[in-house]
Amino acid sequence: MNRRNFLYSFSFTAAAIILGGCEKNSENNNKVVEKFNESQKLPLKLSKNETAGIFKPFTQELKIPKEINFKNIAKAKFNAQKSLVAIYKDKKTEVLTFQGDLPNPTIRIKKGDNFELDFTNSLEKPTIIHWHGVIVPEEMDGHPKDAINTQITKEYKYKINQRAGTFWYHTHPHGRTGEEIYYGLSGLYIIEDDDEKRLNLPSGEFELPLIIQDRRFDKKANLIYKEIALDNNGILGDVVLVNSTPFPYQNVKNTKYRLRILNSSSVRTYRLAFEGIESFVLIGTDGGLLEKPIIVKDILIAVAERIDIVIDFKDKKIGETVTLKTLGFKEASNFITNQKYPNLGAKIDIMKFKVTQLSTNDSVKLPRNLSSILKIKESDASKVRTITMEIIGGGIWTLNKKPYDMNRVDERVKLGSTEIWEIKNTVHMAHPFHMHGVQFQVLDRTGKIDFPTDKGWKDTVLVMPGETVRIIIKFTMPGLFVYHCHILEHEDHAMMANFLVE
C-alpha cells in the first residue's frame, strides 16, 4: 500500500478507532477480549486459524540462530534481500533476510572489541540498520535519515563501549520499520564482558535465545501484513514464532538454562509464565544484568524489551513437558483491534520444553550478586522534560502532539548532562517508550502494576494507559538520535521525535 492510500484509509476509520477507547463501545470490545480469553486458548483451537491444516503445533524443533562471533572474524556482511524460507516444514514463505535464511544470525561481541559490518541494501526501497540498545555514534546508529538506497553498501564500524547484555538489531527506514521487521529483518545482538563471564552463568547448549513474534499466515503459508485500517493500532497475529519457528518445541536436560528473550512482535505484550514450573529467576533487563536475581512467577515483556532469565528443569522427569505461555495482558489496551485475531488479553501457549535427558552436571549455582548498578541521583538532573503520548487529528499516533518530522529537532540536550524525562501516557493503550543512544533508569511510575524490570538498565519502558513513568538519563553520546513508541505501527505513523545531544 502506498503512503497516500495508507493515510486515506487510516483517517477514514479513525472515528471507529477512537470509539474503541471510550465507554460506549468498550462493552463490545471487552466481549472480544473475553472470547479470546476463555475459549480461544491458542493454539488449541487452531481450526479458527488460517494455517490450520498446514501444520501441527509443537511438532517443529526450535531453530537456533547461527552466530557471527567477532572473536573469530573481523568483519561481517549483511545483504537485505527477499528470500524463500521454510518457516513451516515443506513449505516456502517469502520473507526478508540479511543472509538468505531465518532466523537471522546472532551477533556476539565482547566489550572493547570492534564491530565491523558491510551492509548492502538489495531491497527495492531505501533502508538502514539500527543496533537497538547499543550506544554508538550518530552515523552508525541507523537514524531513518541515513537510509541507503537500493544497491548501495554502507560500512558500519564502531567500538563496543558498554557492559554485557542482550540487544538486537533491525532495519529502521521511516514509515516501513514495522513491515520490514514483520517480514524478517531483525536479529539478536549479544555483548559479553569479563565481569559476566566470571559469574559462570549457564552457557553453550544451556543458553538459548528466544525471539518471540506473533504473525499471520494464509493457507499457503504466506505472511499477511495489514488487512484492515484497525491494524494501524498494531498488528496482532495468531501464530507465535520463536526464532522463526511456529509454536516450536525444544529438548532439554533436567538442569538450569539461561533464556535470553526478545519480544520483536509488532504490538503484543506477553505476560510470560511456564506451565509445569512455578517460578523462575529474572537476572537481566535491556541493558544487562540486574544487581541481584529476582524470583518471579510471570513477567511482562513489551515490544522491543529483552529479559534474561534462568529456569531450572531439575524437578522434571524424563518425558515431562514444560510449556512457555503468555497469560495475556488485556490491561495494555482497550482499543478495538482486528477481531479475526487473538487480542492482547488472549492466553496463548507459545512453545514446549521436553525433558529428554538427565543432566550429568549440575554445578551451576546462581550467584547472589550479579553486577553493580550505580544509581543515577535525581539531584544530578539539570532538567526535567515532559513527553506526552497522544492520538491527534482523528487517529494519528504522536509524541507531544507533533507528527514525526525527520528534519525537526524536538529536544536539545547538553552532552554529559543528566535529565529526568516524564513520559505521560494520555491514551487508553500502553506504549513501549524507546530511546536511541542511551541506557536509562526508571525512577518511578504512577500506575499500580509492578515491573521488576524497572530495577535494571533500560532502553525501552512500557507506559501503561493513563500512567506517567519518570526516567533518568545521562547523555554520553553526542549526535542526533530518535526516541519513539516501539509499537511498530505507531512508530511508522508519527509517534517518534528527534533529540540532539551537543
Residues contributing to the site for ligand C2O (CB under 6 A): 130, 132, 170, 172, 304, 434, 436, 482, 484, 486
Query: Residue 170 binds which one of Cu ion, ligand C2O, none, with CB within 5 to 8 A depending on kind?
Result: ligand C2O
Residue 293: how many CA atoms within 13 Å on its side-chain side?
A: 17
Query: Residue 87 binds which one of ligand C2O, Cu ion, none, with CB within 5 to 8 A depending on kind?
Result: none
Q: Identify which of residues 179 and 238 has a Cβ nearer to ligand C2O in the complex.
A: 179
Q: Identify which of residues 93 and 186 has a Cβ nearer to Cu ion in the complex.
A: 186
Query: Residue 304 binds which one of ligand C2O, Cu ion, none, with CB within 5 to 8 A depending on kind?
Result: ligand C2O
Task: Note the residues at the interface with Cu ion (CB under 5 A).
Answer: 132, 431, 436, 485, 487, 490
Task: Kindly state the smallest distance separating residue 114's Cβ from Cu ion, in Å.
Answer: 21
Query: Residue 487 binds which one of Cu ion, ligand C2O, none, with CB within 5 to 8 A depending on kind?
Result: Cu ion
For residues 433 and 390, give the distance between their C-alpha atoms in angstroms, rounded to a whole number.
13
Tell me the residue ranges of DSSP E strands in 138-248: 153-159, 165-171, 186-192, 207-215, 239-242, 245-246
Task: Kindly state the smallest distance separating residue 434's Cβ from Cu ion, in Å.
Answer: 5
Query: Residue 325 binds which one of ligand C2O, Cu ion, none, with CB within 5 to 8 A depending on kind?
Result: none
Task: Kindly state the smallest distance separating residue 373's Cβ from Cu ion, in Å.
Answer: 21
Task: Kindly state the smallest distance separating residue 62's Cβ from ligand C2O, in Å.
Answer: 23
Query: Residue 494 binds which one of ligand C2O, Cu ion, none, with CB within 5 to 8 A depending on kind?
Result: none
Q: Label residue 497 exposed, middle or buried (CB < 10 Å: 0-12, 13-18, 19+).
A: buried
For residues 318 and 358, give the distance between their C-alpha atoms in angstroms, rounded to a whole number.
7
CB 477 within 8 A of CB 388: no
Q: Identify which of residues 301 and 482 has a Cβ nearer to ligand C2O in the complex.
A: 482
Q: Identify which of residues 229 and 273 has a Cβ nearer to Cu ion in the complex.
A: 229
Q: Identify which of residues 212 and 351 has a Cβ nearer to ligand C2O in the complex.
A: 212
For residues 137 and 219, give the distance between their C-alpha atoms in angstroms, rounded to a whole number.
44
Residue 345: how many CA atoms within 13 Å on its side-chain side?
A: 21
CB count, 10 Å around CB of 379?
A: 6
CB 418 within 8 A of CB 473: yes
For residues 60 and 63, give the distance between their C-alpha atoms in angstroms, rounded to a whole number.
9
- Cβ within 8 Å of residue 2, ≥6 positions away: none
Query: Residue 431 binds which one of Cu ion, ligand C2O, none, with CB within 5 to 8 A depending on kind?
Result: Cu ion
Task: Kindly state the smallest distance separating residue 486's Cβ from ligand C2O, in Å.
Answer: 6
For residues 184 and 117, give the distance between their C-alpha atoms in angstroms, rounded to a whole number.
19
Task: Kindly state the smallest distance separating residue 45's Cβ from ligand C2O, in Å.
Answer: 33
Query: Residue 485 binds which one of Cu ion, ligand C2O, none, with CB within 5 to 8 A depending on kind?
Result: Cu ion
Residue 230 DSSP code: G
Query: Residue 484 binds which one of ligand C2O, Cu ion, none, with CB within 5 to 8 A depending on kind?
Result: ligand C2O
Query: Residue 215 binds which one of Cu ion, ligand C2O, none, with CB within 5 to 8 A depending on kind?
Result: none
Place of cell 535427558: 357
196: left (phi over 0), alpha (psi -120 to 50) or beta: alpha
Place of cell 494519528: 396
Task: Kindly state the smallest distance separating residue 306's Cβ from Cu ion, in Å.
Answer: 12
Task: Kindly state the smallest distance separating residue 31's Cβ from ligand C2O, in Å.
Answer: 34
Q: Identify which of residues 212 and 482 has a Cβ nearer to ligand C2O in the complex.
A: 482
| Residue among 243, 311, 304, 238 nearest 273 (CA) | 311
349 φ, ψ to 5°?
Answer: -80, 125
Q: Identify which of residues 254 and 398 has a Cβ nearer to ligand C2O in the complex.
A: 398
Task: Kindly state the smallest distance separating residue 446's Cβ from ligand C2O, in Å.
Answer: 25
For residues 31 and 29, give the distance between their C-alpha atoms in angstroms, rounded to a whole number.
5
In the complex, residue closest to ligand C2O by CB: 132
Q: Identify which of residues 132 and 458 has a Cβ nearer to ligand C2O in the complex.
A: 132
Position 449: which residue type? I
Q: Identify which of residues 347 and 486 has a Cβ nearer to ligand C2O in the complex.
A: 486
Q: Identify which of residues 352 and 436 has a Cβ nearer to ligand C2O in the complex.
A: 436
Task: Kindly state the smallest distance separating residue 460's Cβ from ligand C2O, in Å.
Answer: 7
Element spanning 353, H or E = strand 348-357
Tell me the residue ranges of DSSP E strands in 28-132: 67-69, 76-85, 93-97, 106-110, 114-121, 129-132
